[in-house]
Amino acid sequence: MSDERELLDRDDVDDLDAILSVEAADPDEVIHLVEDNADALFTWDYERSRQPLSKLYEKAKRSQWNATTDLPWDTDVDQELLAVTAGMATPEMMEAAGIDLTGSVFETWGKKEWLALAIEQQNWTLSQFLHGEQGALVCTAKIVETVPWIDAKYYAATQVVDEARHVEVFARYLDEKLNGHYRINPHLGLLLDDIIRDSRWDITYLGMQIMVEGLALAAFALAQAVTPEPLLRQLLRYVMGDEARHVAFGVLSLQEYYAGLTDKELADRQEFAFEAAVRMRDRLIAQEVWERVGVDTKEALRVLNPFGDDKNRDPFQMLLFSKIVPNLSKLGLLDVNGGWLRSRFDTLGVTQFETWTDTSIEYEMLDAVAADRAADADRAAVR
């Protein structure tokens, strides 16, 4: 098994200088080329023998929604009011969280500066949602090509439609309701490149369905819980219904496949999962936001201390792993090879989430989401 230096090219997983040294994409780049090394597979076996995947496929067909007609795009959005009512950071909030602003750039900040930060954080967060959804769109199209089972091809085709719809709604919300886009975060960009570039079909599943989609599901849940804005709440509710089904698709598919792999093959998957988890954690530093509001990123992080002793203080970091760890546990990746991945997650302080509900069970919530959507449509028809 490799160590952190070999995987991450740094001695310490929390090395801030190394994290910030990852270069952003060319700001003038419009088309990004990644070599796709995978083989496209036809299968002449059309027997639908994997019932869990067939069940997901049927759910996916019933749960389609139209981004143009099913969401109230005429809703007025006041981004400043949204920032304030969604829990904008304040000195009082920082103090309650045990963060001392004395002697830092934040000590002199007033409401104007905190509001500007909250607005940029909104723009950045939704921009990364958008870029991640395009990554999912491309990766799921690759799964249709590369997976050897007809049941999985059927389901993955429905996810391609889902992901196109997600790209559509986040792009439209950013364009019409908010006031700015951000480029893709370099850590997220590197991870998406790695997922696309790998020739093994199951790595596409592991990287996208388990890791990236697991993060997305957690982040959407947090965003929906705190935002008072009705259009965004409904948009996220619909997207979350799709995402839970997508992660369940990854768990159900890989559980069967990984049962037949050797320890050496599983070691490669463990290393990939750890590297992906660290990259997704690193992107939450959001250095692009600090640069835009004129704050040195190291100074901001010195004060906020995201890699301090209390590694679970940041709710985004907590939720990131709350979806990922139980799914990796169900796939058997935590304890194989002497518990290599478990020990790495112990270092990150996230193994505690192992006993949380895995998404192959959690996706049953989709029936409730579909029922809510039908009720929304009925109410709209009556009006």
Mean pLDDT for the stretch of residues 33-51: 93
Mean pLDDT for the stretch of residues 142-151: 96
In a domain, 162, yes or no: yes
Mean pLDDT for the stretch of residues 11-40: 88
Question: By C-alpha distance, which of 320, 292, 304 is closest to 89?
Answer: 304
Mean pLDDT for the stretch of residues 37-66: 93
Cβ atoms of residues 274 and 344 within 8 Å: yes
Residue 155 confidence (pLDDT): 96
**SS3 of residue 290 by DSSP:** helix
Banded model confidence at residue 222, pLDDT cuts 50, 70, 90: confident
Banded model confidence at residue 235, pLDDT cuts 50, 70, 90: very high
Q: 172 or 314, which is more confident?
A: 172
What are the tens digits of pLDDT across the range 282-323?
998 999 999 999 999 999 988 887 665 554 456 556 667 888
Neighbours of 365 (CB within 10 A): 14
Question: How is residue 9 annotated by DSSP?
Answer: S
In a domain, 10, yes or no: no
CATH number at residue 143: 1.20.1260.10
In a domain, 7, yes or no: no
In a domain, 47, yes or no: no
How many separate domains does the chain show?
Answer: 1
In a domain, 50, yes or no: no
Mean pLDDT for the stretch of residues 131-146: 96
Residue 44 confidence (pLDDT): 96
What are the tens digits of pLDDT across the range 262-288?
999 999 999 999 999 999 989 989 999
In a domain, 20, yes or no: no
Residue 27 confidence (pLDDT): 80
Q: How far apart, in whole angstroms, are the C-alpha atoms of residue 53 and residue 30?
A: 36
Residue 79 confidence (pLDDT): 94
Residue 312 confidence (pLDDT): 42
Q: Give the contacts of 344 (CB within 8 A, at least 6 positions apart).
A: 4, 274
In a domain, 15, yes or no: no
Q: Give the contacts of 42 (CB within 8 A, at least 6 positions apart).
A: none
What percent of the chain clears pLDDT 90, i.e. is strictly above it? 66
In a domain, 25, yes or no: no
Banded model confidence at residue 95, pLDDT cuts 50, 70, 90: confident
Q: Which residues span the domain enclosing 360? A: 78-378
